[in-house]
Amino acid sequence: MSNPGVPFVDLSRALASERAELLAAADRVIRSGWLIHGTEHRSFETELARYLGVGHVIGVGNGTDALELALRAVNRDERRTVLTVANAGGYTTTAARAAGFRVGYVDVDPQTHLMDVSAAATAIDDDTFAVVITHLYGRAADVAGLRAICEPRGISVIEDCAQAIGARTVDGLVGSMADLATFSFYPTKNLGALGDGGAVATHHVELAERVRRLSQYGWADKYTSTEPGGRNSRLDELQAAVLRTRLPRVDDGNQRRRDIIARYAAAAPDGLRVLPAEGPNHAGHLCVVETADARALAEHLAGVGVQTAVHYPIPDHRQPSTARSEVHLPETERLTGRILSLPCFPELTDDEVDAVARGLTAHDL
Ligand SMILES: Cc1ncc(COP(=O)(O)O)c(C=O)c1O
């Protein structure tokens, strides 16, 4: 039999092992006769809020909507600029532009690839009303450091937790440390739906109510729209029911992901740096390696049957749709062509993890 190789991701494995529970969750919804904004949605919001240690969670349609609604919710004056990083997939750029805001970029730290908070201090100007800090690859970013810079200037901080649910810091879980936090439940995330899903979390009741209104046509009450900029972005009952069955498994899944990354790190030769994901401040979402020639590594691994991916190949300010020739981010640009993501999901077998590790060791740099 031919070797099927190691997939970058394979959702069918979790779907197979969780099949009975998922069908039971779907059955609950079908029997209830209630498909939007019912008990599953409400219960999921309560359970996620409890898990995160925040007062309020609002389920929405996806993670990009969550960012857009969060930005709209904190924008209360004439300032129009959002700051973020340019190496995190472009979701904040998409969300900010959809809401009609300008986007400014902050360079990243060469060690962690996360926002360089000291660079944020210089990038902020009088037009800045919000900074979105992404917990990229699953690693908790320096939210406290950013808040110390932003709060005296009346600038809101939003955590993008799409890749980092369950990462813990001394200040609490990611998603509990800023004004607002956003989540994606895209199927490959550490907490994945059977389709699209997202959420916004906050300690502040007023912000929560604003996001809730914005997520449903600006309605304060049915058919009464009080919030300008409202739209329709809802987490449906089926997705909420699925997420409720999966939330209790997040911590175990994150630990398995960290263990896989540690195994790769131990096997990597000099010149190939596996970004560390050791402690609980990392959710292990992506295993990213940095090396001088990521394409050569990808080709080598493909040759031994290991699939890889790149997160992300083109920074926002170099995307054809949002190109900004005046923006220079030396560190972000330096990483282009140097990063590669390795297979990292809880259902990988030990043999598959070993095969990837052997592939790394055998790479001739
Ligand atoms: C860091 C980050 N932010 C936002 C998103 C957007 O989420 P969604 O695909 O649910 O819109 C994603 C994932 O796709 C992400 O990885």
Tokens of 312: 């992300």
Environment class of 116 (CB within 10 Å of its CB; exposed 0-12, middle 13-18, buried 19+)? buried
- For residue 161, the CA-to-ligand 1 centroid distance in Å is 9
**Which are the contacts of 73, defined by CB distance < 8 A and separation ≥ 6?**
180, 200, 207, 210, 211, 214
Query: Is the pLDDT at 76 greater than 60, yes or no?
Result: yes
The answer as to whether 331 is a domain residue is yes
> pLDDT exceeding 90 applies to what percent of the chain?
98
Asked whether 58 and 181 are in contact (CB, 8 A), the reply is no
Give the containing element (helix H, strand E) for 289.
strand 287-291
Looking at the structure, tell me whether residues 105 and 145 fall in a common domain: yes
Average pLDDT of the segment spanning 136-155: 98
Looking at the structure, tell me whether residues 206 and 254 fall in a common domain: no
pLDDT of res. 322? 86
Looking at the structure, tell me whether residues 42 and 92 fall in a common domain: yes
pLDDT of 257-287, one tens digit each? 999 999 999 999 999 999 999 999 999 999 9
From 64, 65, 182, mutation site for ligand 1 pocket: most ligand atoms within 8 A of C-beta: 64
- For residue 63, the CA-to-ligand 1 centroid distance in Å is 5
pLDDT of 296-340, one tens digit each? 999 999 999 999 999 999 999 999 998 999 999 999 999 999 999
pLDDT of res. 1? 44
Average pLDDT of the segment spanning 90-107: 98
Distance in angstroms (rounded) separating the CA atoms of residues 181 and 227: 20
| pTM of the model as a whole | 0.98
Looking at the structure, tell me whether residues 109 and 221 fall in a common domain: yes
Looking at the structure, tell me whether residues 254 and 332 fall in a common domain: yes
pLDDT of 118-142, one tens digit each? 999 999 999 999 999 999 999 999 9
Asked whether 70 and 158 are in contact (CB, 8 A), the reply is yes
Confidence of residue 162 (pLDDT cuts 50, 70, 90): very high
281: CATH: 3.90.1150.10
Confidence of residue 191 (pLDDT cuts 50, 70, 90): very high
pLDDT of res. 364? 87
Looking at the structure, tell me whether residues 77 and 142 fall in a common domain: yes
Which of 89, 169, 160 has its CA nearest to residue 131?
Answer: 160
Confidence of residue 365 (pLDDT cuts 50, 70, 90): confident
Query: Is the pLDDT at 2 greater than 60, yes or no?
Result: no
Looking at the structure, tell me whether residues 229 and 273 fall in a common domain: no
Q: What is the DSSP string of 36-77?
A: BSSHHHHHHHHHHHHHHT-SEEEEES-HHHHHHHHHHHH--S
Average pLDDT of the segment spanning 343-350: 98
- For residue 261, the CA-to-ligand 1 centroid distance in Å is 21
Low-confidence winner among 2-16, 74-88, 213-227 (lowest mean pLDDT)? 2-16
Structural domain including 30 reads 12-247
Looking at the structure, tell me whether residues 146 and 66 fall in a common domain: yes
Asked whether 160 and 92 are in contact (CB, 8 A), the reply is yes
Q: Which CA distances in Å does 275 have to 29, 37, 153, 278, 300?
A: 41, 40, 33, 10, 19
Looking at the structure, tell me whether residues 65 and 84 fall in a common domain: yes
pLDDT of res. 194? 98
**Which are the contacts of 18, defined by CB distance < 8 A and separation ≥ 6?**
245, 246
> What are φ and ψ of residue 215, in 5° steps?
-75, -10
Average pLDDT of the segment spanning 248-254: 98
pLDDT of res. 139? 98
153: CATH: 3.40.640.10
Query: Is the pLDDT at 252 greater than 90, yes or no?
Result: yes
Give the chain's mean pLDDT. 97
The answer as to whether 102 is a domain residue is yes
Q: In what order do the strands lie in the sheet with 287-291?
A: 272-274, 287-291, 339-342
Which of 351, 318, 359 has its CA nearest to residue 335?
Answer: 318
Looking at the structure, tell me whether residues 331 and 205 fall in a common domain: no
Confidence of residue 3 (pLDDT cuts 50, 70, 90): low
Looking at the structure, tell me whether residues 161 and 308 fall in a common domain: no
From 184, 185, 191, 194, mutation site for ligand 1 pocket: most ligand atoms within 8 A of C-beta: 184
Q: Which CA distances in Å does 82 have to 45, 129, 179, 361?
A: 27, 6, 14, 42
